[in-house]
C-alpha cells in the first residue's frame, strides 16, 4: 500500500508526447473523445492584454494547443493613412498603442522629417526625449506591479495606477492631454515646459523611488510570486532571432537589445545608462528586467532635466502642413518602446498623402508567433501570467 501511494505521489507524464502530432507537427485533437475541451479567454480586457482572444484547448488543466484571434478592433490604421494628409495622420497614429502613444508620434514625425529634409532644433529633441521617457515611465508603473495582478495580488496594481496618474498630470501640464498628446509634430514639438514643471516632475520621481521599494517587498520578495513565475514561460535562446523578439523579452534571455543604444537617436548617446538583462528567460526574469527598466527610466528623466536647455527654438520651419507635398522616397525609423523595437516603414510618392506607412511593432510577434507556442504544455492558471509577461498591445496587430 505504501509503495502504491508513493508511486501515485510521484506520478509524472511526458508532456512532449501528448497529444500526438500529425505529419505536419500539428496536435491531433479530437474534441469528441472527451479528452480535450476548448475554452476562450478574452476578448474582454479583464481576460487578456487588450481586445484579442485566446482559443485554448486543454486536457485537464494543461494547455495542449493555443491560437491567438484578433479582429475585435477593426481599426485599419495603415489603410486610413493613405487617405489622410501627413498632419492628419497624427490623431490616428497615436491610437495604434493607447498606453504609449508618443512612440507613434515620434516615428511619424521623424519619418516625415527625413523624407521632407527637415532638421529639428536641439531643444525640441531634448523635449521629445523627455516625452518618450515619461511615456515609458507611466507604462512601466502600471505594467510592473500588474504582473502580480495576474495571480490575484491586485494591491500593487492599485498603487501603480496612482503613481501613473502623477505622470499623467505632468503630461496634461506639458501637452494639454492626459492619454493622447500629439505633442511631437513634424519639425519639433508644440511647446516648452511650463514654469516649475521640472520641479514638480522631480517631486513625482522622488515618490516613485519609494514606490519601487514597496513593490520590491510586496512582489519581488514574495515567495508565492516567485513560485508562480520562476521557471514559468521559458523562452529558448534560439527563439529570439528566429521570431524577431525584442525589448525586455529579448533582454530577459540575455540578449543586449535596445534601440536607444544599438541605433542611438535624439541625445541618448549623451545619457549614462546600460542594458538591463537577465539570463533565465522566464516570467520572473522578464519582469525583473522591467523592474530594472523602471529604475533606469526614473534616472534617465533626472538626467534629461539636468542637461536639457530651458529655452531655444522648438520648431523648424516647415511648409504649410495642409499642402505639404513630401518628396518621393522611403525610410525606416524606429524607437525603443517599453515593449521593444517599434518602427515605421514610410513611403512617399511625392503627393500630399503617404503612399504607405507600415508599423513594425513587437506585439504581433510576441502575441501570435511566440505566445501560441509558449502556452503549450503550460497550466491554464499560468496563461495570464505568461501572456502579460510578453506585454502585447493588440492595436499594434490590427493596424
CATH classification at residue 114: 1.10.645.10
Predicted TM-score (pTM) of the model is: 0.91
- Verify that 291 and 172 share a domain, yes or no: yes
The total number of structural domains in the chain stands at 2
Q: Is residue 10 part of a domain?
A: yes
Q: What is the pLDDT of residue 1?
A: 47
Residue 340 has phi, psi (to 5 degrees) of 135, -160
How confident is the model over 265-300, as pLDDT tens digits? Answer: 999 999 999 999 999 999 999 999 999 999 999 999
Per DSSP, 207 falls in state H
CB 52 within 8 A of CB 42: yes
56, 146: one domain = no
Q: Which of 118-127, 219-228, 318-327 has the highest mean pLDDT?
A: 118-127
The closest alpha carbon to 340, from 319, 370, 314, belongs to: 370
Dihedral, 289, 294, 296, 301 alpha carbons, nearest 10: 160
Window from 123-127, 156-160, 304-308 with minimum mean pLDDT: 156-160
The boundaries of the domain holding residue 63 are 2-69
As a whole number of angstroms, the distance between CA 303 and CA 143 comes to: 23
- The residues with which 39 forms a beta bridge, in sequence order, are 56
Domain assignment present for 384: no
Q: Tell me whether residue 389 is in a domain.
A: no
Which cell is 80 given?
486610413
Tell me the average pLDDT of the chain: 90
* Residue 61 shares a structural domain with residue 81: no
- The DSSP result for 236-281, as a single string, is -HHHHHHHT--HHHHHTTT----HHHHS--TTGGGS-------SS-
Helix (H) or strand (E) holding 3: helix 2-9
What single string gives the DSSP state of each residue in 157-191?
HHHHHHHHHHHHHHHHHHHS-SS----EETTEES-
Q: Which runs of E-coded beta strand occur in 253-378?
A: 329-337, 340-348, 354-360
Does residue 379 lie within any of the structural domains? no
Categorize the per-residue pLDDT at 4 as very low, low, confident or very high, splitting at 50, 70 and 90.
low
Same domain, 21 and 138: no
For residues 161 and 16, state if they share a domain.
Answer: no
Indicate the pLDDT class of residue 21, thresholds 50, 70 and 90: confident
Query: Which are the contacts of 390, defined by CB distance < 8 A and separation ≥ 6?
Result: 249, 286, 366, 367, 370, 371, 374
Lowest mean pLDDT among 48-57, 95-104, 122-131: 48-57
CA distance 203 to 102: 23
Same domain? 83 vs 65: no
Same-domain check for residues 116 and 46: no
Axis-axis angle for helices 102-116, 122-149 (nearest 10) = 150
Q: 346 in helix, strand or coil?
A: strand
| pLDDT for position 11 | 47
- Beta sheet of 37-41, edge-to-edge order: 37-41, 53-59, 62-69
Amino acid at each position: 500500500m505504501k509503495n502504491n501511494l508513493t508511486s501515485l505521489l510521484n506520478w509524472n507524464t511526458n508532456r512532449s508526447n501528448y497529444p500526438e502530432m500529425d505529419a505536419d507537427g500539428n496536435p491531433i485533437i479530437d474534441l469528441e473523445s472527451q479528452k480535450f475541451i476548448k475554452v476562450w479567454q478574452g476578448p474582454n480586457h479583464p481576460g487578456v492584454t487588450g481586445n484579442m482572444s485566446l482559443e485554448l484547448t486543454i486536457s485537464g488543466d494543461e494547455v495542449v494547443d493555443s491560437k491567438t484571434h484578433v479582429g475585435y478592433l477593426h481599426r485599419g490604421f495603415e489603410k486610413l493613412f493613405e487617405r489622410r494628409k501627413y498632419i492628419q495622420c497624427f490623431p490616428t497614429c497615436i491610437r495604434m498603442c493607447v498606453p504609449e502613444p508618443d512612440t507613434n508620434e515620434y516615428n511619424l514625425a521623424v519619418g516625415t522629417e527625413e523624407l521632407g529634409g527637415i532638421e529639428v532644433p536641439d531643444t525640441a529633441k531634448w523635449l521629445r526625449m523627455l516625452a518618450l521617457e515619461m511615456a515609458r515611465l507611466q507604462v512601466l508603473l502600471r505594467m510592473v506591479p500588474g504582473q502580480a495582478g495576474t495571480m490575484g495580488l491586485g494591491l500593487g496594481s492599485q498603487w501603480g495606477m496612482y503613481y501613473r496618474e502623477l505622470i499623467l498630470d505632468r503630461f496634461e501640464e506639458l501637452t494639454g492631454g492626459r492619454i493622447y498628446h500629439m505633442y511631437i509634430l513634424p519639425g519639433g514639438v508644440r511647446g516648452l515646459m511650463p514654469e516649475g514643471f521640472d520641479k514638480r516632475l522631480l517631486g513625482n520621481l522622488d515618490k516613485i523611488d519609494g514606490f519601487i521599494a514597496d513593490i520590491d517587498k510586496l512582489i519581488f520578495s514574495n515567495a508565492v510570486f516567485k513560485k508562480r513565475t520562476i521557471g514559468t514561460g521559458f523562452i529558448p535562446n534560439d527563439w529570439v532571432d528566429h521570431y524577431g523578439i525584442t525589448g525586455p523579452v529579448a533582454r530577459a534571455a540575455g540578449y543586449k537589445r535596445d534601440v536607444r543604444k544599438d541605433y542611438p537617436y535624439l541625445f541618448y548617446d549623451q545619457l549614462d545608462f546600460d542594458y538591463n538583462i537577465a539570463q533565465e528567460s522566464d516570467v520572473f526574469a522578464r519582469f525583473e528586467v522591467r523592474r530594472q527598466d523602471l529604475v533606469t527610466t526614473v534616472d534617465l528623466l533626472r538626467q534629461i532635466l539636468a542637461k536639457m536647455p530651458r529655452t531655444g527654438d522648438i520648431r523648424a520651419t516647415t511648409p504649410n502642413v495642409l499642402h505639404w507635398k513630401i518628396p518621393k522616397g522611403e525610410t525606416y525609423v524606429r524607437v525603443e518602446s517599453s515593449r521593444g523595437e517599434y518602427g515605421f516603414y514610410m513611403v512617399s510618392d511625392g503627393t500630399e498623402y503617404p503612399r504607405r506607412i507600415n508599423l513594425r511593432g513587437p506585439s504581433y510577434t510576441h502575441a501570435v508567433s511566440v505566445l501560441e507556442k509558449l502556452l503549450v504544455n503550460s497550466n491554464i492558471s499560468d496563461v495570464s501570467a505568461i501572456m502579460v509577461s510578453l506585454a502585447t498591445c493588440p492595436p499594434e496587430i490590427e493596424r
